[in-house]
A = this chain, B = another copy of it.
Amino acid sequence: MKKFRDLPTPCLILDLDRFEGNLDRMSRFVTERAVALRPHSKTHKCPQIAQRQIARGAIGICVATIAEAEVMVRSGIQGLLITAELVGQPKLSRFVELLKRAPNTMLVVDNIEGVSELQTVVQRAGLQSGVLIDLDIGQNRTGIKPGEPARELADTIARSPNLRLKGLCAYAGHVAHASGFETRLQKSRDAISLALETRDRLRQAGHDLPILSVGSTGTYNIDSDIAGVTEIQAGSYVFMDVEYRQIGSASDNVYTDFSPALTVLATVIHRSQGKAIVDAGLKAFATDRPFGPELLDVTGVKYEFAGDEHGRLVLENPSRPINIGDTLRFMLPHCDPNVNLYDRIHCIQGDDVVDVWSIMDRSGGYF
């Protein structure tokens, strides 16, 4: 059997035992809290992982793009929630095609013109579509403002014969990585209280809102305790990353609810005084955070980006010798954009490569 240390580097390595442990832990947690899990698949963009999430009880998956939705439906996944607005005919045409194959797909909307455009294309195809109102509870990104603007939008949806209002999508992206559990708890409760007030107002106006979709890997165990939350859309828990580890958990300075399961394997290609160079740089790691990757099993070494294909290891006080030809595993700085840099995930058990899964196309993904 192929050993993972013989793979050409850089490459993605998924420790299956840790990965399945993460899936099991989240599955048990949401089952105990009687909240549903519709995990976000923009983290992995990998049908095999979505299938394993569904097999462990997830009610469907979230996707961020029409291309992700297409790939998942083609792989037999149902119960999709598209968490970003689809604007313009190229995407709306594809959405209608998708609805034919996956009629229970839901799409977020955040403005009256968008609802009108969606109603037109769905009606023309003789279909029905479920929609969630995308609510801005503090992220300052997409989403309609809570309260009266959301009620007007709900009324518009209710008057649209081919759309069915299923609830609210209230993602607090500004809270997901807030550092310190108590801080995160307060911020998330504050944000979600805006969604609950809006839900109440819309119900008083006669709207049925069975779904309130919220949350992230940072707040899964906060939001699931809030009465009224019906489902959690956490994604990163399957892999984990440096960023989530830094935010701390309810009991620890390091967030260890889930294990770092996904790493980048790199090779030391140069060694000189006080430094080593690995073959993994800007094209191997996510660069959107102010910190880089961290070695999985070695301390006293700091990674610095050093070009497209190069990373510099500053050997401050390495806990083991670092030699040319060594293969090293790095935790990802930020898992979602990091996974997006690869075509494949190499699944390992111990030293053996036991499976290879495909990550969907970077751009496109038509069927």
With both beta carbons as reference points, the residue of chain B lying nearest to A284 in the complex is identified as B363
Q: Is chain A's binding surface mostly helix, strand, loop or mixed? A: loop
Q: Tell me the complex Cα distance, A139–B8, Å.
A: 25
With both beta carbons as reference points, the residue of chain B lying nearest to A6 in the complex is identified as B90
A325 at the interface (CB under 8 A from B): yes
Taking the nearest CB of chain B, how far is it from the CB of A73, in angstroms?
Answer: 16
Chain A residues touching B, range? 35 or more
Residues of B contacting A100 with CB < 8 Å?
none
Q: If A141-B307, A173-B307, A312-B141 touch, does A325 touch B88 (CB 8 Å cutoff)?
A: yes
Proximity bits, A244-258, B CB within 8 Å = 1, else 0: 000000000000000
Residue from B65, B114, B288 in contact with A282 in the complex, judged by beta carbons closer than 8 Å: B288
Residues of B contacting A12 with CB < 8 Å?
363
Q: List 26 A-B contacts (CB under 8 A).
A: A6-B90, A8-B66, A8-B94, A8-B364, A9-B88, A9-B90, A10-B363, A11-B363, A42-B309, A65-B279, A65-B309, A87-B325, A91-B267, A110-B270, A111-B324, A139-B306, A141-B270, A141-B277, A142-B269, A282-B286, A283-B336, A283-B337, A308-B337, A308-B340, A343-B363, A362-B362
* Known contacts A42-B309, A141-B306, A282-B336, then 5 further A-B pairs from the complex at CB < 8 Å, ordered by chain A residue: A42-B308, A84-B269, A85-B270, A282-B286, A308-B336
